[in-house]
Chain A
Amino acid sequence: MLLLGKIGLGMAGVALAGAGVLCSEGFVQVNVVEKQPHGASIHIIAPAMLAPIAVRLAPSRAFEEAAGQIQPQLPVIDAALDGLRESEDMVIVQVDAPGEHMQVAKSGGSIIVDVDDPAAIVHVSAPIRAVSSTIDQLAAASPEANPL
């Protein structure tokens, strides 16, 4: 009985530590609400650490096209994300037009994109570190990065 208790405690500890590590990079949040009648409403919150792992584990063919487009821009994207990581919280881009609002901001180590247009309301929040790792993983999947 005592042994079972110890094993249970150990497993709970491992699970807790695993959850802690998984959540250590924050969360990616995606909310999409379509404005049309019976439109879709999607709400996703996932540990940010899963994104680069998912890209790494997925078949590289799935990302070949995106990876090919990202690869040439990688130095610029990396420089921008590094700069963003060190900057203070701020609104980077804001566009307001009749019936439309779009904002890209940095807040608390995350990039936040908000779009409100006649079709939908979209909110995406992702930790910069996770975005950076995911883009690096994506670029690594490009044919140019793996010529053999």
Chain B
Amino acid sequence: MQPRIRTRTHVAQALCLLVAGIMSLAATAIAAPAERYIHVNVQDSENSANVHVNVPLSMAERILPAINNPDLHDGMISLHRADLNGVDLRAVLNAVRTAPDNEFINVTNKDADVRVAKSNGNIMVHVIDKKNRGQKVDVTVPLKVADALVATANNGQLDVAAALRTLNDAGDVLLVTVQDSGQRVRVWIDSRSTQ
């Protein structure tokens, strides 16, 4: 074989390998989107106990529609009319979505401090329960997840299954933190199967 032909053959072989490598990487990326996990961690300093729970979001998505009881049916939570007090959740969310980042609610009284704000595409709720050992509750809900909760649900219902699907596309997020003098509870989403 002439040297020129041999060189071209080598270049062609290298190109084929490169293309095959890129295609296999792309195929892997397309075929297997990274699984995401919902984690719960409870640290009970009073009893020196520690609880870790890790559940793949896809598993939670499967389980949720299978649960059927009066309050949770087909992946939807039914809110009692008394809880809603005539509030149109969808309208409230629409108003929040279009508003700039801001603190919307700030209530301070002898029982509790409550703050609700919008920041970087998240709705954030901070509660300090003064009657309950100063328990602090922080809840962060990405706006698109909140949208999914009400998008297809009737008023008085929350579509938790749709919210879980949307959480799959949301970034890593610390959803809930509850902390008091004895316990700390955290709920978060990320793409690691361990804590």
Contact = CB atoms under 8 A, between A and B. Distances in A.
Interface of A: 75-76, 78-80, 82-84, 86-98
Interface in B16-55: 35, 37, 47-55
B194 interface: yes
Given A90-B54, A90-B194, A97 B62 contact: no
B63 A94 contact: no
A93 B62 contact: no
A89 to B, nearest CB: 8
Contacts of A89: 193
Interface of B: 35, 37, 47-56, 58-60, 62-63, 65-68, 193-194
Contacts of A82: 62
A106 to B, nearest CB: 10
Main secondary structure of the interface of A (DSSP, over half): mixed
B51 A94 contact: yes
A96 B50 contact: yes
A19 B33 CA distance: 39
Nearest to A99: B48
A84 B59 contact: yes
Most buried by B among A79, A80, A86: A79
Contacts, number: 63
A105 to B, nearest CB: 10
22 contacts: A75-B66, A76-B67, A78-B66, A79-B63, A79-B65, A80-B59, A83-B59, A83-B60, A87-B35, A87-B59, A88-B35, A88-B193, A90-B56, A90-B194, A91-B193, A91-B194, A92-B53, A92-B55, A93-B52, A94-B50, A94-B52, A96-B51
A142 to B, nearest CB: 17
A94 B47 CA distance: 16
Contact of B52 (A76, A91, A97): A91
A90 B52 CA distance: 12
Contacts of A94: 50-52
Nearest to B67: A76
Given A79-B62, A80-B62, A98 B52 contact: no
Given A83-B59, A83-B60, A91-B54, 9 more contacts: A75-B66, A76-B63, A80-B59, A80-B63, A88-B35, A90-B56, A92-B54, A94-B52, A98-B47
Nearest 7 Cβ contacts at the A-B interface: A83-B59, A75-B66, A97-B49, A90-B193, A79-B66, A79-B62, A94-B52
